């Protein structure tokens, strides 16, 4: 039996001799990415669960709920409330003070982290490194005319705040994606990601590999196979974001089945599917993410705070017979300094 992700997982053989299959770089998986006996891991329910709270995000939500934090003080206070409610990890974006939209401003990130650390030195701080990949393509007759909302920079520039602050974790979006129904594309190329992965490792920061579709997962596997990511691997399987992976448990199970034994993962859904996905993620052997980045409501018609979403997730986890990890536990699970 092999312990991974807080639960016991039995190794089971595969004809291809490893967790990665298909063509390309995974015809012969490296030893770093498979078990010693060439088996893969069957994951069972996780009974030792990390709760992450995605505090604010960068979406157009600040005008839809008074609880979505915008200023550094509001973001830090909401993160602290979530930690007090039981979140081991707080995942933070920052927002422009005038427009409320997401931004890459280093000083705003620094203020958020300083305010959190002033009152809580235990909670794991996870800063997004996904900003700077927005490309809003022009109209059909002039697609090269980039439209307002475009913010496209290289991998190292996306890490400016990570360089300055050195959080415990930073998220990396593991591929490009058609985002929504219009002309917006999120750009994160293999070359950018390799540059980012190398620098994040040099900084001593744990990358959170955000996976929006199976191709993203394939490239996350590629970076692991190339030795760019150190174990334990922390992956976020993101469902129901147009147009990545739909909220389909069969697809999620297939993605989980590809993960190496050294991986810890979280999966989540948007809106009304946030709480059902709490149970689903735990049942598949994973951890939990909730928060106002992904869902504004506690129940139908009732706007939530981050702390309330964390509290509700904890009730679900504990009713399932699982235990919620403290921040200290999560640091040990993820091998954080």
* In the predicted structure, residue 107 carries a pLDDT above the cut 70: yes
Whether 43 contacts 8, CB under 8 Å: no
pLDDT confidence of residue 39: 56
Does the pTM of the predicted model rise above 0.85?
Answer: yes
Whether 279 contacts 314, CB under 8 Å: no
What would the pLDDT profile of 244-257 be if each residue is shown by its tens digit?
999 999 999 999 99
SS3 at position 127: strand
pLDDT > 90 fraction of the chain, expressed in percent and rounded = 87
Q: Count other C-beta atoms under 10 Å from residue 291's C-beta.
A: 28
Burial class (CB in 10 A: 0-12, 13-18, 19+), 27: exposed
- For each of the domains in the chain, give its residue range(s) and CATH number, in order of start: 2-333 (3.20.20.70)
What would the pLDDT profile of 162-184 be if each residue is shown by its tens digit?
999 999 999 999 999 999 999 99
pLDDT band at 131 (very low <50, low <70, confident <90, very high): very high
Helices vs strands, H then E, count in the chain: 10, 21
pLDDT confidence of residue 29: 37
pLDDT confidence of residue 337: 82
Residue 316's φ and ψ, nearest 5 degrees, are -65, -50
Strand pairing partners for 220?
none
State the average pLDDT for the chain.
Answer: 90
pLDDT confidence of residue 15: 32
């Amino acid at each position: 039996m092999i312990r991974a992700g807080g639960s016991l997982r039995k190794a089971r053989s595969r004809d291809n001799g490893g967790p990665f299959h298909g063509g390309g770089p995974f015809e012969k998986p490296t030893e770093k990415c498979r078990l010693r006996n060439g088996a893969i891991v069957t994951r069972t329910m996780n009974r030792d669960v990390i709760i992450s709270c995605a505090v604010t995000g960068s979406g157009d939500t600040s005008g839809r709920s008074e609880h979505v934090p915008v200023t550094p003080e509001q973001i830090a206070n909401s993160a602290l409330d979530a930690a007090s409610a039981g979140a081991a990890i707080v995942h933070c974006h920052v927002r422009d003070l005038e427009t409320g939209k997401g931004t890459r401003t280093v000083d705003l990130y620094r203020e958020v982290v300083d305010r959190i650390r002033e009152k809580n030195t235990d909670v794991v701080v996870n800063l997004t490194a996904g900003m700077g990949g927005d490309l809003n393509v022009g109209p059909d007759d002039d697609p090269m005319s980039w439209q307002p909302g475009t913010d496209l920079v290289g991998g190292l520039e996306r890490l400016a705040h990570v360089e300055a602050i050195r959080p415990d974790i930073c998220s990396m979006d593991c591929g490009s994606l058609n985002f929504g129904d219009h002309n917006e594309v999120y750009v994160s190329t293999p070359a950018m990601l390799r540059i980012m992965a190398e620098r994040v490792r040099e900084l001593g920061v744990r990358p959170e590999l955000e996976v929006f579709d199976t191709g993203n997962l394939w490239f996350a596997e590629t970076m692991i196979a190339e030795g760019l990511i150190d174990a334990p691997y922390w992956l976020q399987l993101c469902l129901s974001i147009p147009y990545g992976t739909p909220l389909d448990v069969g697809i999620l199970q297939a993605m989980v089945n590809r993960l190496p034994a050294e991986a810890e993962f979280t999966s989540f859904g948007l809106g009304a599917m946030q709480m059902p996905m709490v149970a689903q993620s735990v049942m598949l052997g994973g951890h939990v993410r909730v928060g106002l980045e992904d869902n504004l409501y506690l129940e139908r018609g009732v706007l939530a705070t981050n702390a309330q979403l964390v509290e509700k997730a904890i009730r679900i986890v504990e009713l399932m017979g699982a235990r919620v990890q403290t921040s200290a536990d999560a640091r040990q699970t993820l091998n954080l300094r």
